[in-house]
Amino acid sequence: MKKIYNTIMIINFKKFINTTYLKIYENYGDGKYAKFDNNNGEPFWGNIAAGVLPFCISTRRFLINYRSKYVNEPHTWGIWGGKLDNDENIKETVIREFNEETGFNDKIKLIDAYVFKNPNGFFKYYNFIGLIDNEFEPILDWESEDYKWLTIDELYNQENLHFGLKKLLKKSKKLIMYL
């Protein structure tokens, strides 16, 4: 009897998470994609995701976003990205997500950086450095509350970074310092 109860609790908990988040997100953005949908039932958007830390060549500054209260790891400074859709590759994901979250639709050159893997290996997040020619003013969606363009020193001294950005800065330091 106890085993059945635990199984029901797990199923109900997953249903609660999905229902609660869907209700919250339906008020922001289009909501129809706002659910945890990976093979392991973990709080990640899919099994594979990717993001970009944009670097402006002309000003030598990086663009980061302040994550809204409606996303995982809210109220932290992070990069732009999201889950892989079924019909796209990782770089297409980065370009699509960056466009959706900022309105950017100009040329961007993606440089492979650190790949995050959660401890059980069911989730991977591919990080890229994105080279762009000029700074722009992002048009923010529901996932971000603010943004900043920062020099490399400002970036490494920025407080309240998302754990993923902290790891990216540490694991890809040689690449970032070379820019």
pLDDT at 105 over 60: yes
Q: pLDDT, tens digit, for every residue of 22-66?
A: 333 333 333 334 444 444 454 555 688 999 999 999 999 999 999
Closest by Cα among 104, 163, 122, 129 to 51: 129
Average pLDDT over residues 3-7: 38
| 175 Cβ contact list (under 8 Å, min separation 6) | 111, 113, 129
Secondary structure E strands in the chain:
48-56, 61-67, 77-78, 80-83, 109-117, 124-132, 144-150
CATH number 3.90.79.10 given to 48-178:
yes
